[in-house]
Amino acid sequence: MTAAPVFLPGSTIGVMGGGQLGRMLGLAARRMGYQLHSFSPERDTPAGQVADLEVCAQYFDEEAVRTFAKGIDVLTFEFENVPVESIEWAAQHCVVRPAGRVLEVCQHRLREKTFLKAAGLPLPAFMPVENLAQLEAAVAQLGTPAVLKTAAFGYDGKGQRKILKESDLAEVWSSFAGQKAVLEAWVPFERELSVLVARGTDGSTVTYPVCENVHANHILDLTLVPARITETAAEAARAIAVKAAHALELTGLLAVELFLLPDGTILVNELAPRPHNSGHFSLDAAMTNQFEQQLRAVCGLPLGSTELLRPCAMANLLGDAWEGGEPDWAAALGLPSVKLHLYGKKEARPGRKMGHLVAMGATLEAAEALVRDAQARLTRRGA
């Protein structure tokens, strides 16, 4: 068997996508001595601001994709909704990690759930829906409440409708405008969790401590690490993440979102074959942050330690914090243990992820209180 190629510092990494995940990957690449080229339909993106080369072109621009791929050694991704055709074009000119088929599975809810079920991983009951008749049949079988989700391009709660016993199914379906969808049985979870797992070219894996995630309006608000769960539950969560990574034959980083039920059962919610919002704690509180880990994995290097240095809490900064004016950065940073990360986005909009805060403490409770205090200070504005 031919050994997988290794890309040492000095090599050029390409990233599809221009958002904050690409930006933080670029910062890790620069620190480790790599070049980074970004590809996105937009200009002056968060990733492009730190890249050695920012390419602005459409993902369906075959000539642009091929030219981009010829100028890099290995291609990776900061989001999974890249057209399969684009990945196939790039793969003819450079190494692509993770492989295109991994993204193809994870960018489509029905394919993902079908894959997870075939791999023997636990997940909520689901049924495909392509028309009103199928929705009515699925609701009859799975019961209510349930959740209808678009099969593709859904994130942060977009493309989802909760279905209750009294819901008008015709009205619900009309709001999906004929898109393929998936109906999921309602999960009365106790906590939402996530696990980051890295898998190298040799099949070796490492997992980060289990994250506990708190959402507000379907957007991640707070991540606590380590999660407030039993060690038995943590071991089960990590085992599920590793099994998913092996089943995908992943090279890179995988975030596995999970539901913890009151009886201790753990179910898979979604997969993301890239760094993840809930993993941002690792930039300050882990021995190896998730972006360096992504680089190590896709470049064929040994994986880094995932040791947690101190209990920590991460809070998202959404554009809502700018509604009354510029946030009071000095007030938040008056807390010496709080770390601020901003993503270089030009326009603050409600619900848009603009940055995050990380706080560490002797205990998880202390870290959570500290990051909540920092959040509140940002919007007091001299109060």
What confidence tens digit (pLDDT) does each residue in 24-45 have? 999 999 999 999 999 999 999 9
| Residues of the chain below pLDDT 50 | 382-383
Class of the domain covering 12-96 = alpha beta
CA distance 359 to 31: 23
Q: Which of these, 64, 19, 72, lies nearest to 42 by C-alpha position?
A: 19
Question: Phi and psi dihedrals of 191, rounded to 5?
Answer: -145, 150
What pLDDT sits at residue 382?
46
Tokens 């990957």 correspond to: 25
Question: In Å, how far from its chain's centre is CA 315?
Answer: 15
Residues 344-353 have pLDDT tens digits of 999 999 999 9
Domain chopping of the chain, boundaries: 12-96, 125-185, 191-378
Could you tell me how many residues make up the chain? 383
What pLDDT sits at residue 381?
54
Q: What is the CATH number of domain 191-378?
A: 3.30.470.20
What pLDDT sits at residue 158?
65
CA distance 294 to 250: 11
The 3-state DSSP class for residue 359 equals: strand
Strand 53-56: give its sheet, edge to edge: 53-56, 35-40, 12-16, 74-77, 95-96
Find out whether 225 and 306 touch, Cβ atoms under 8 Å: no
* CB proximity list for 156: less than 8 A, separation 6 or greater: 218, 219, 220, 351
CA distance 372 to 365: 11
pTM > 0.85: yes or no: yes
CA distance 223 to 31: 26
Question: DSSP code of 208?
Answer: P
The 3-state DSSP class for residue 10 equals: coil
Find out whether 20 and 31 touch, Cβ atoms under 8 Å: no
Check for a shared fold between 12-96 and 191-378: no
**Per the omega criterion (within 30 degrees of 0), is the bond before 302 cis?**
no
Match domain 125-185 to its CATH number in 2.130.10.10, 3.90.870.20, 3.30.1490.20, 3.90.226.10. Answer: 3.30.1490.20
Q: Which of these, 154, 150, 259, lies nearest to 215 by C-alpha position?
A: 259
What pLDDT sits at residue 153?
65
What pLDDT sits at residue 134?
93
CA distance 51 to 144: 48
Beta strand spans in the chain (E): 12-16, 35-40, 53-56, 74-77, 95-96, 126-129, 146-150, 160-163, 181-185, 191-199, 205-207, 211-216, 219-225, 252-260, 266-272, 312-318, 338-342, 353-360
What pLDDT sits at residue 248?
98
Strand 181-185: give its sheet, edge to edge: 126-129, 181-185, 146-150, 160-163
Radius of gyration of the chain (CA): 21
Q: Which of these, 55, 18, 56, 15, lies nearest to 34 by C-alpha position?
A: 15
Q: Extract the tokens encoding 37.
A: 């080229």
Q: What's the CA angle centered on 315, arms 310 and 316, to 5 degrees? A: 140
In angstroms, how far apart are the furthest CA atoms of the chain?
A: 66
Q: Which of these, 344, 342, 351, 346, lies nearest to 321 by C-alpha position?
A: 351
Residue-by-residue DSSP string for 87-132: HHHHHTTSEESS-HHHHHHHTBHHHHHHHHHHTT-----EEEESSH
